[in-house]
Amino acid sequence: TKPEPQMIVIFGATGDLARRKLLPGLLRLLRRGEVTDGMPIVCLGRRDILPSDFLERLQVERFLPGDEPELIERFSRLLHYRQFDLQTGTAEQLTEVLQAVARDYRCGGNKLFYLALPTGAFGAVADLIKPLVSGDGWLRVVFEKPFGADLDSAKRLNDSISAVLREEDIFRVDHYLGKELVQNILFLRFANEIFCCAWNRDAIDNVQITVSETLGVEERAGYYDHSGAIRDMLQNHLLQLLSFTAMEPPTSNDPDAIRDEAARVVEHLRPPETADVVLGQYGAGRIGDRDIRAYRDEDGVAPESVTETYVALRTFVDTPRWQGVPFYLRTGKRLAHRYAEIRIVYKQHRCDGLDTPGRANMIVIRIQPDEGIALAFNVRKPGSDNEAESVLMDFCHHCHFGPNTPEAYEAIMASAMRGDTLLFTRWDWLRASWRFIDRLRAVAPPVVAYQPGSTGPAEGERLPEADQRAWVETT
């Protein structure tokens, strides 16, 4: 189904996220016909700049690799920059701005607000939107992550917005849920007989989830130094990957049936102990021929900062399906490679009949780059004395479906425009995740240093050794 006519309003439109992800995503949705020429995109920012300057700075033509001047022209016509400050602006001012733009369009009263702003700015939104909720059409509000900084602040924020918005009109973003291969986890599990019946503690030995980044904190030290890898990545992206990997079969395809099961996973995470957590911070070093500054020397980072840029965690999902199966999670910045993947490591069964040990079977869900799913299994090594060799059956997503799979933010935008909540975090999930994270932060050991361009601190590498296991490295 195509989205209904609506006005799209981006708060924080001069920011990085809007420029790099949201607006390019909307341009591609215009090309696909999901955004139409009747849907204005109001770009709100604090800066006092002319709409023409905004467009010039944006360089819309850079959003697309090909030469499509007509599309660029249509898109530019939809963009309306207006100065508006969420902290000081009033509901009347906002209504006036939006009405003035709406006059030239037949978009009805439906409005999609996207708050591409720091979480501290969200609080102001409740008062601001109150008078708009009762207007014509619907009002949906998209909140960028992070949603709160701990359970208390998330709860306060949630209380204030749920006093004015219904849960189905609140869209809490986790852009990892928009990634194609993340959306595929449930298909892999529940649309395939061979996988769904071997997805439990009887068959699976352990699960490994890695999101490894090569970038440092870039220009975002002001935010990151107060957040760290636990709250920037683990609380949201990695715990969502864990939820989709570990959830029970939902009772239907309904977004809420799926979100019920996702929440249940986080609610059943075993509270972490100090020995389950490793925190790291990158020091100075070299990656390839580039000198890398230590995290503490990055602009905007406190010289004595103890913020973690790496976290590794061992956890258990205390449900009958997963009793005793360790889940190892790790993520960090300035590591050797950029990749995100989930590895389902099977038990080293020796099926009756053949005395050929082979290696443990494994399913690798490659979220990025080179999206795909691989299955490692054993074959007979030719010419050998019944020796087994592990080989990969490898599904490459773009080889099969072509290169134009929607990017995460495009999928997120399209879902919010349609009012589809599946790709968004529900409050019960979020509450459980913050409860877990608050506990984890309370017991976490101090940060240890690691080399940029490495796979993280040695302590993190050794984490699975407590269970006589090891990280399986990328093949």
Give the nearest distance from C-beta 20 to ligand BG6 in angstroms: 10
In this structure, what token pair is assigned to residue 334? 């300035």
Give the nearest distance from C-beta 115 to ligand BG6 in angstroms: 15
- Half-sphere exposure of residue 66, counting CA atoms within 13 Å on the CB side? 7
Out of 213, 261, 341, 461, which residue is the one contacting ligand BG6 (CB under 6 A)?
213
Q: Which of residues 129-148 bind ligand BG6 (CB under 6 A)?
A: 145
Chain position whose Cβ is nearest to ligand BG6? 232
Give the nearest distance from C-beta 407 to ligand BG6 in angstroms: 9
Give the nearest distance from C-beta 183 to ligand BG6 in angstroms: 14
- Terminal C-alpha separation, the chain: 40
Q: In terms of C-beta density within 10 A (0-12 exposed, 13-18 middle, 19 or more buried), how is residue 155 classed?
A: middle
206 vs 240, beta carbon nearer ligand BG6: 240
Annotated binding site for substrate: 175, 179, 213, 232, 333
Annotated binding site: 12-19, 46, 85-86, 145, 175, 179, 213, 232, 333
Annotated binding site for NADP(+): 12-19, 46, 85-86, 145
**Does residue 225 touch ligand BG6 according to CB under 6 A?**
no
Q: Which of residues 311-340 bind ligand BG6 (CB under 6 A)?
A: 340
20 vs 462, beta carbon nearer ligand BG6: 20
Q: Contact at 8 Å (CB) between 114 and 142?
A: yes
Q: Is 400 a catalytic site residue? A: no
**Rounded to an integer, what distance in angstroms lies between the CA atom of residue 465 and that of residue 441?**
22
**Does residue 298 touch ligand BG6 according to CB under 6 A?**
no
Q: What share of the chain is helix, strand, coil (3-state, %, to 5)?
A: 40, 20, 40
Site string for ligand BG6, 240-259 (x = CB under 6 A): --------------------
**Does residue 232 touch ligand BG6 according to CB under 6 A?**
yes
Going by their DSSP bridges, the two strands 41-45 and 79-83 should be labelled as: parallel
Residues that bind ligand BG6 (CB under 6 A): 145, 213, 232, 340
Residues marked as catalytic = 237
